[in-house]
Chain A
Amino acid sequence: MLTVLALLALAAHYVRAIEYTPIEATQGLAQKIFYVHVPAAWSAFLAYGIVGVCSALFLWLGDRRLDLFAEASAEVGTVLTLIVLTTGPLWGKPIWGTWWQWEVRLTSTLFLFFLMVGYLTLRRSIFDPLVRARYSAVVGILGAMLVPFIHLSVYMFRTIHPKPVILNPEGPTLPGSMLSTLLEGVAIMTVAYLGLVMLRYGIGRLQEEKEARHAAAS
């Protein structure tokens, strides 16, 4: 239910973003991709952060639901990361002239993608649900801890991405309507993310129950 609402809200948000917000002076129409790109990026990193937290909690508390939630979050996060990685170049080509740049945030997101794919691939190669949960939790924690280091390393390497507009030390540099649209986008995307995760988690729970009934019968 929540997911449907969130997705509708997302659609409405994009209408607003495309039609009603002013066109940015230097970048033109392409800048509108920003409204997809940034919320997706934010949600993707949030997703992986949640994988890390759930993994740590799972190793500590042993509740299988934490593992299922981590799995759901990783899958949704991978999709979000793909969105970021495709909208980035789509925006970059008209603005920078190249499809790709090895700068901080895009590179960090690329590594986030690798980490998530690694996590999910590992899950797929282990059939015992208990071992799978434990091993993915180990990878999840270590991977989540890695993200800040990747970010820091690449940042010290070079920076060419547009300076952050919200987390900018000088204060937000966006005019009012764009800022509010963006914030709204972030909020809605986060809700959509949560909705999708809950949905995927629900599926995970059903799968687990099915496996349990199957094991009990044999």
Chain B
Amino acid sequence: MAALVLSALILVIFNFARDPTVIRAQDLAPSALWVTITFAATTALNRAFAVELDHGALDGLLLAPVGREAIYLGKLLGNLVFTGIVQLITIPLFVLFFNLDLHGTLPAILLLAFLATVGFTAVGTVFSALTVRVQFAELMLPVLLLPFMVPPLIGAAQVTSKLLAGRPLADSAGWLQILATYDIVFLTLSVLVFPAVLDE
């Protein structure tokens, strides 16, 4: 809930932070959208493993006859669902606030949102397990994770602005390939290194 309010607020602020005569809504929109989504995702990730620390619930998960990878995938799915829901609500708000004409690109934007999120959420899930046992966790997680959000953010913003300008999705094939590769690489790596975070 807090994440939704945060997203809405950020979109509003972006709108007021520009000079409407100089910057078109359409030009600012992609950056605004993706920065917002980034912040919302970080709030989800901050809490992801914190709940396991209260009352030692993580031990409960570790005692279960399931592999460590299953715990990771479970958390990852949870995070993706949470971020997905935030995006599903934020994107229409974004269209509303910025008075955009989507030209029927909504499915493409949703696909893009998914592609962009999977990669850094995979890494973020690993980092949230890691920082939860570290001092200053709320600060450490963004510090570590923000660099990882940059390639997907650049890609997503670029593709969004092309889409909003009416260009077909095929024009952005290069970026989409990068996003997909990024997702595959980091999902695989994250699954591989996650057990190292849980070991004692």
Direct contact of A and B (CB under 8 A): yes
Chain B residues, CB < 8 A from A156 = 154, 158, 174-175, 178
| Bound complex: CA A142 to CA B199 (Å) | 18
Q: A142-B126, A146-B151 are in contact. List 16 more A-B contacts (CB 8 A).
A: A59-B193, A111-B150, A118-B144, A118-B147, A122-B134, A125-B136, A137-B196, A138-B130, A142-B123, A142-B189, A143-B147, A150-B147, A150-B151, A156-B158, A156-B178, A157-B158
Specify the chain B residue showing the minimal Cβ separation from A138.
B193
Q: Does B13 reach chain A (CB closer than 8 Å)?
A: no
Q: Tally A-B pairs: CB < 8 A.
A: 76
The contact sample of 14 A-B pairs, CB cut-off 8 A, is: A59-B193, A59-B196, A118-B144, A121-B140, A125-B134, A135-B130, A135-B197, A139-B127, A141-B193, A146-B148, A149-B182, A150-B151, A156-B154, A156-B174
The 4 closest A-B CB pairs, nearest first, are: A153-B151, A149-B151, A125-B135, A153-B154
Cβ < 8 Å to A, chain B residues 150-189: 150-151, 154-155, 158, 174-175, 178, 182, 185-186, 189
Specify the chain A residue showing the minimal Cβ separation from B199.
A134
| Bound complex: CA A125 to CA B197 (Å) | 15
| Bound complex: CA A118 to CA B150 (Å) | 15
Instruction: Bits for B50-91, please: 1 = Cβ < 8 Å to A, else 0.
Output: 000000000000000000000000000000000000000000
Question: Is there an interface contact between B151 and A152, defined as CB atoms closer than 8 Å?
Answer: yes
For the complex formed, measure the closest distance between the CB of A159 and the CB atoms of chain B, giving whole angstroms.
14
| Bound complex: CA A169 to CA B70 (Å) | 46
Q: Does A115 reach chain B (CB closer than 8 Å)?
A: yes
How many B residues have CB within 8 A of the partner chain? 31
Q: How large is the interface on A (under 10, 10 to 19, 20 to 34, 35 or more residues)?
A: 20 to 34
| Bound complex: CA A134 to CA B1 (Å) | 34
Specify the chain B residue showing the minimal Cβ separation from A128.
B133
Question: Is there an interface contact between A145 and B134, defined as CB atoms closer than 8 Å?
Answer: no
Chain B residues, CB < 8 A from A4 = none
| Bound complex: CA A134 to CA B133 (Å) | 13
| Bound complex: CA A150 to CA B146 (Å) | 12
8 Å CB contact of B178 from A114, A122, A131, A152: A152
Question: Is there an interface contact between B151 and A138, defined as CB atoms closer than 8 Å?
Answer: no
For the complex formed, measure the closest distance between the CB of A64 and the CB atoms of chain B, giving whole angstroms.
14
For the complex formed, measure the closest distance between the CB of A204 and the CB atoms of chain B, giving whole angstroms.
20
For the complex formed, measure the closest distance between the CB of A60 and the CB atoms of chain B, giving whole angstroms.
10
| Bound complex: CA A51 to CA B148 (Å) | 17
8 Å CB contact of B186 from A115, A121, A145, A152: A145
Chain B residues, CB < 8 A from A137 = 193, 196
Cβ < 8 Å to B, chain A residues 105-139: 111, 114-115, 118, 121-122, 125-126, 131, 134-135, 137-139
| Bound complex: CA A139 to CA B174 (Å) | 28
Question: Is there an interface contact between A114 and B196, defined as CB atoms closer than 8 Å?
Answer: no
